[in-house]
Amino acid sequence: MKTTTKPVAAVLKAPAPHMVGDGFRVHNFFPGGYKINMSPFYLLDYNAKIDFSARNEPRGVGVHPHRGFETVTIAYHGAVAHHDSAGNSGVIYPGDVQWMTAASGILHKEYHEEAYSKSGGPFQMVQLWVNLPSQYKMTKPKYQALKHDEINRVEIPDHGGQIEVIAGNYQGVKGSASTFTPIHVYNARLHAGAKASFNFPATYNTGFVVIEGKIRINQTETALTNQFIHFSSEGEEIEIEALESSVVLILSGEPIDEPITAYGPFLMNTPEEIQQAISDYNQGKFGFLED
């Protein structure tokens, strides 16, 4: 079958930011900012690059629960330390990805890493919420901590840069993280003038975030730093060209065709499951984590 170009539906600028705790100044592209269908991606919080001043007491967000989905944190500048109720902890440095499957429930907290907090400086992160289909919502929580230099990658010819395959696959190279449904997540790091092409099924929901630089898409549209490119659910082929040295977060996934009931940090199918999640959280069934 002949493939066709996947057209750009809209190039969206970052909505007004809000604070998550005192450590994350995020632009919520969806579901709050724009009413676009990006399933299986439910939420995209984008902390555009800003400078935090030096501080001894790290900024961040205190203990909170999650159930029914996965949080994916992708660091570009700065560093985030995290702890959870299962006893896991770690630091997410620039280029690293933390793929946390909250599933049946976890408590965690996220703070600026101590040394970064003390020095201050540029901070830039993405947090995605990836929905889970009903049969996996109550499975056991787990972590995939991907270090930048261990993430599988594809070299772009003529020293054009690299595609880091965080999840899914790109040109036969498998993503470093495993997923529950078909999802592609890449960091494309392109030098000025480099081109890269992507091929996703027409029915997949697809969007790119320009983390840095300026790109041309399908030889027609242009997108700048901090903009989100939403694609139509038709066509397969996307070509981007870096008009200057650029970093682009690539997201594409098969929609999860199930009802969603969302409340705060919970993403379930029905209101009853949300009530259950609140009750379980209140009764300590997510465990305990010191603030």
Partner 1 sequence: MLEPFKEYLQKKVAITDEQFDLISHKLKVKTFSKNEMILMKGDFSTQGFFVLSGLLRSYSIDAKGKTHIIQFAPEQWWLSERNGHFNEPSDFFIDAIESTQAILMPKDFINEAAEIVPCMNPLNSTMLNNAIRFMQKRINMLLSATAEERYLDFIKLYPNLTLRVPQWMIASYLGITPESLSRVRKDLAHKHFHP
| Residues at the contact surface with partner 1, assessed by CB under 8 A | 62, 64-65, 85-86, 140, 263-265, 275, 278-279, 281-288, 290-291
Calpha distance 185→125 (Å, rounded): 15
What minimum distance in Å lies between the beta carbon of 77 and partner 1? 28
Starting at the edge strand found earlier in the chain, the sheet holding 18-20 runs: 18-20, 24-30, 41-52, 121-131, 69-77, 97-101, 142-146
Q: Which of 232, 282 has the CB closer to partner 1?
A: 282
Calpha distance 203→151 (Å, rounded): 27
C-alpha separations of 87 from 121, 225, 287 in Å: 29, 37, 10
What minimum distance in Å lies between the beta carbon of 249 and partner 1? 29
Q: Which of 234, 263 has the CB closer to partner 1?
A: 263
What minimum distance in Å lies between the beta carbon of 274 and partner 1? 9
What minimum distance in Å lies between the beta carbon of 200 and partner 1? 36
Tell me the backbone φ, ψ of residue 278, rounded to 5 degrees: -60, -45
Q: Which of 1, 288 has the CB closer to partner 1?
A: 288
- Burial label for 189, CB within 10 Å (0-12, 13-18, 19+), is buried
Residue 282, H or E segment: helix 271-282
Q: What is the number of H-type helices and E-type strands within the chain?
A: 2, 26
Q: Which of 220, 283 has the CB closer to partner 1?
A: 283
Q: Which of 248, 289 has the CB closer to partner 1?
A: 289
Q: Which of 40, 265 has the CB closer to partner 1?
A: 265
- And the tokens for 97? 């990805």
Calpha distance 220→182 (Å, rounded): 28
What minimum distance in Å lies between the beta carbon of 285 and partner 1? 5
What minimum distance in Å lies between the beta carbon of 61 and partner 1? 12
Calpha distance 122→142 (Å, rounded): 30
Question: Looking at this protein, which amino acid is placed at residue 241?
Answer: E
What minimum distance in Å lies between the beta carbon of 181 and partner 1? 24
Q: Which of 65, 160 has the CB closer to partner 1?
A: 65
